[in-house]
Structure 1
Amino acid sequence: MGRVIVFCCLLLACLGNTLQAQPIKIGLNYPRTGNYKAEGLELRRGALLAVEAINRTGGVLGQPLELLSKNTASRAEKARNNVELFAKQGARMVFGGATSEEAIAAGQRARELGLLYFATLSYANEVTGEAGQRYLFRESNSAWMSARVLGEYLSIHLPRQHYHYILIDDAWGRSMESALRLATSSTDRARHGRSVLPRGLVGREQYRAALDKAAASDADVLVLVLLGENLQRSMRMVHSMGLKQRMQIIVPNLTKSVVQQAGPLVMQGVIGTEAWTWDLPKQDNNPTGLQYVERYIDAYREYPGSTSASAYSIVMQWADAVRRSNSLDSEQLIRALEDHSYRLLKDQQQWRAFDHQNVQSIYAVRVRPRDEVMSDPYKQHYFEIIHRMAGDQAAPSLDDWQQERDEELTLQ
């Protein structure tokens, strides 16, 4: 009888350990195909490194993390449907996306299902502004934040210039154009012209028409409010047309993958913004950031970009909130995240309570000359930081945010 009791106890212990070891699932919405597939690869790499780091130190609440991932092809409807599929698989949080439309649609579905959604690469002000809601957090900077650091830099170094804008007709394109026009005093469209391209992949003849219009203007500054393959293709045409010799090219949101795909010769001298660069931890003497850079290089034999850093930070911050609240409940996690300040891969950041925007320093950067890039061991030392702005200075104020929200003055 004693042996039976001992056996039963051992069996129960084994079952308990098995149950305890069941993974906690999180879902990554990322573009494996389409205009932003290079950015999607970076998102997945950063997420995998975070999951690996967390599991190496015991997981979360004694359970390992498991990363689920699904292709959005940068389409809002697909991103929304993926959230439902993640929920059916037992995911406790969803993150990712490469467009603002994805973030808004997927975030709304996550809210309906009681899941938190963390947005990446979604720069439109609407994401945490007019469309903001309690279950949606944004790690990436907003259009306002990019526009303000660029506006300050350009007002000092390129004052009273004539601008021309080329943008995609989507939430981010319109948001970024509006914010940058205000920041650079180029709101007069009669003087500072524009061309609007359809969303999705754009045809060569459409790029050419827009760039011919810019070339025919007397603009000193050409602003390309484009991302992904649209930006790569347009920049190759800018280079072949010799427009960089006549105009300063501005790309409001630069990424490592864009420069990597288009090539440093094509991109050299372009000015834009980044929320993080691989050498920032060294400049700021940040040991956690340095460790992340080393792990990324060991795993992929190249430097990490801000896109992978964003995905990594989201997973690490969500896991930290779970530990601090000792819960997977979304409402408790919201309370743990709101107004929480932390240092991870850069200087201090904060999940701001009133809009769930991640408030962080933002950097104006210039793409280095090709010769400098090619002299680097990995040939990816692309960005020189030329101006910095603190997050609380760059992000819109509570008054700005409430004016955008109109009658809905708190997150619902």
Structure 2
Amino acid sequence: MVSRLLRSTVWLSLFLTVSSHAAPVKIGLIHPTTGRYQHMGFDMAQGAILAVEEINRDGGILGQPIELLTANTASHPEQGQQAVRSLIQQGATFTMGAAASDVAIAAGKTAAKQDRLFFAALSYANETTGVDGHRHIFRETTNSWMTAKALSFYLGQKLKDQRIFYVTADYSWGRSLESSIRKFTDTKDTQTHRSVLTSYPRPRHSELQSALQQAAASDADILMLSLLGGDMVSALQLAHNMGLKDKMEIVVPNLTQSMANDAGPSIMEGIVGTVPWYWQVPYQFGHPRGQAFVEAYLTRFDEYPDSPAASAYSILYQIREAAERAGSFNTDAMIQALEGHHYMLLKDPQHWRQFDHQNVQSTYVVRAKARDEVMRSERRGDLLDILLTLPGNMGARSYEEWSEARSLAGKTASLEH
């Protein structure tokens, strides 16, 4: 994995030095290149690089090539804000990225102060396009509400007379995810369905171990691990060593291929989660454009694309198409071109909802394949079985639900500047 990260860094450095005779449009990507979420950050960067290369070969955006600027967030909100300010000072017309919801929310507010758009590529907290939403932020990926609804459809009758134990990262994403899952699985009783919060970022090993020991002693039937990145991998390794998979079903609400790869197929086998996209989706459901993306990514990076890569790739194509519809890079014109826009790219239909700038799309419930299946697959890269697809219009919260949440937070029922 280290060699892969070094390779990505070299590619990105080489890419940034490419010059063009035409004045470029600069797009800033903020992503973690250090810390527990760095693998998701590098996936984002690779997806962005591929999109930029393709778009530039096709004439750029409005005749201008894209120049990709990048900055490390280390998954810290303050560093994310500084990164956005720096990229805008360097001339970025648009900003995108994140990997942690606190970073996305902070970055979006910073971009708005300078009348720039921010596109969240990996930010699952409801707040991103909910109580903290505004006109200058668009979220490409799914949110906790959609994740929780998809999981509730899968768990269904399993939850009858069963208990869930929650281990949750103590920041906006983790808290909103636990709250949403409790709502849709009818597990709001915190005495019956207990929880432990873990520090964010970088919970100590002893803290994760203590949380899992409490889960083991709880007689719960389902362990809900609302963690991401390296934190999730550490928790899964601990759970495996403690024999928790033999005692309870383990659910990872927001799963990525990088987490599954890092944990390993023996540890992952049978674990359930959700993804907004998986590289088998275009093949299983017949989406040629998504298949072309997978093949191009394989050729470029010699590995299958993960969902953060797909998100970053999609954002850049959506920026190009919106600018072409708007005829300019003007922020207000871009917002108008994006709001309510329906499209298909890497999966089934998606659209940018007008009232909250949430990208409405399908959520997939998946289960990690048996180790033997993974080891037999090409590049040992087919990690997940798709169990269920929840269409976006069934998963996304309604305007009434959205406006009620904003009202409780003292916000208006429309996006503010």
Q: Output the TM-score relative to the length of structure 1.
A: 0.94
Query: Counterpart of 1:410?
Result: 414
Report the Cα offset of residue 278 of structure 1. Answer: 0.4
**Contact 2:228-2:254 at 8 Å conserved across structures:** yes
How far apart are the structure 1 equivalents of 2:276 and 2:377? 22
Query: Counterpart of 2:12?
Result: none
Query: Counterpart of 2:11?
Result: none
**Contact 2:159-2:185 at 8 Å conserved across structures:** no
Are residues 80 and 398 of structure 1, via their aligned partners in 2, closer, same or farther at CA, if it must alter by over 3 Å? Answer: same
What is the identity, as a one-letter code, of the residue corresponding to 1:370? R
Query: Counterpart of 2:4?
Result: none
What is the identity, as a one-letter code, of the residue corresponding to 1:198? S
Q: How does 1:66-77 map to 2 (within 5 A)?
A: 66-77=67-78
Report the Cα offset of residue 27 of structure 1. Answer: 0.3
Are residues 248 and 409 of structure 1, via their aligned partners in 2, closer, same or farther at CA, if it must alter by over 3 Å? Answer: same
How far apart are the structure 1 equivalents of 2:401 and 2:305? 34
How far apart are the structure 2 equivalents of 1:316 and 1:55? 11
How far apart are the structure 1 equivalents of 2:183 and 2:150? 12
What is the identity, as a one-letter code, of the residue corresponding to 1:85? S
3-state secondary structure, aligned to 1:224:
strand
Structure of higher CA gyration radius:
1
1:386 lines up with 2:364 in the alignment: no
What is the identity, as a one-letter code, of the residue corresponding to 2:349? Q
How far apart are the structure 1 equivalents of 2:345 and 2:403? 30
**Contact 1:253-1:274 at 8 Å conserved across structures:** yes
How far apart are the structure 1 equivalents of 2:161 and 2:48? 43
Query: Counterpart of 1:268?
Result: 269
What is the identity, as a one-letter code, of the residue corresponding to 1:215? A
**1:348-399 Cα deviation digits (max 9, x unpaired):** 0000000000000111110111111110111011111111111011011000
Instruction: Report the identity percentage.
Output: 45
Gaps of 5+ in 1: 1-17
**Contact 2:224-2:253 at 8 Å conserved across structures:** yes
Query: Counterpart of 1:3?
Result: none
**Contact 1:167-1:226 at 8 Å conserved across structures:** yes
Are residues 19 and 217 of structure 1, via their aligned partners in 2, closer, same or farther at CA, if it must alter by over 3 Å? Answer: closer
Q: How does 1:23-62 map to 2 (within 5 A)?
A: 23-62=24-63
Gaps of 5+ in 2: 1-18
Are residues 311 and 143 of structure 1, via their aligned partners in 2, closer, same or farther at CA, if it must alter by over 3 Å? Answer: same
Report the Cα offset of residue 158 of structure 1. Answer: 4.6
1:118 lines up with 2:122 in the alignment: no
How far apart are the structure 1 equivalents of 2:60 and 2:143? 31
**1:275-316 Cα deviation digits (max 9, x unpaired):** 111011112221111110000000111111111000000011
**Contact 1:20-1:63 at 8 Å conserved across structures:** no
**1:26-51 Cα deviation digits (max 9, x unpaired):** 00000000010000110000000010
How far apart are the structure 2 equivalents of 1:96 and 1:216? 39
Report the Cα offset of residue 157 of structure 1. Answer: 4.4
Q: Output the TM-score relative to the length of structure 2.
A: 0.93
Query: Counterpart of 1:11?
Result: none
How far apart are the structure 2 equivalents of 1:219 and 1:368? 24
Query: Counterpart of 2:369?
Result: 368
Report the Cα offset of residue 121 of structure 1. Answer: 1.6
What is the identity, as a one-letter code, of the residue corresponding to 1:169? D
**Contact 2:20-2:65 at 8 Å conserved across structures:** no
3-state secondary structure, aligned to 2:304:
coil
Report the Cα offset of residue 156 of structure 1. Answer: 3.7
1:134 lines up with 2:135 in the alignment: yes
Query: Counterpart of 1:284?
Result: 285
1:163 lines up with 2:170 in the alignment: no
**Contact 1:129-1:355 at 8 Å conserved across structures:** yes
Query: Counterpart of 1:4?
Result: none
Report the Cα offset of residue 205 of structure 1. Answer: 1.0
**1:305-337 Cα deviation digits (max 9, x unpaired):** 111000000011011101111100011000000
Report the Cα offset of residue 267 of structure 1. Answer: 1.1
**1:113-140 Cα deviation digits (max 9, x unpaired):** 1110001221111110000000000011
Report the Cα offset of residue 20 of structure 1. Answer: 7.2
Report the Cα offset of residue 19 of structure 1. Answer: 9.8
Query: Counterpart of 1:377?
Result: 378
How far apart are the structure 1 equivalents of 2:20 and 2:124? 40
Query: Counterpart of 2:182?
Result: 181
How far apart are the structure 2 equivalents of 1:268 and 1:94? 37
1:227 lines up with 2:231 in the alignment: no
Runs of 4+ in 1 over 2 A off after TM superposition: 156-160
Query: Counterpart of 2:248?
Result: 247
Query: Counterpart of 1:144?
Result: 145
How far apart are the structure 1 equivalents of 2:142 and 2:206? 32
How far apart are the structure 1 equivalents of 2:287 and 2:157? 30
1:316 lines up with 2:317 in the alignment: yes
What is the identity, as a one-letter code, of the residue corresponding to 1:372? E
**Contact 1:20-1:62 at 8 Å conserved across structures:** no
Report the Cα offset of residue 160 of structure 1. Answer: 3.4
How far apart are the structure 1 equivalents of 2:96 and 2:160? 39
How far apart are the structure 2 equivalents of 1:344 and 1:397? 24
How far apart are the structure 1 equivalents of 2:59 and 2:112? 29
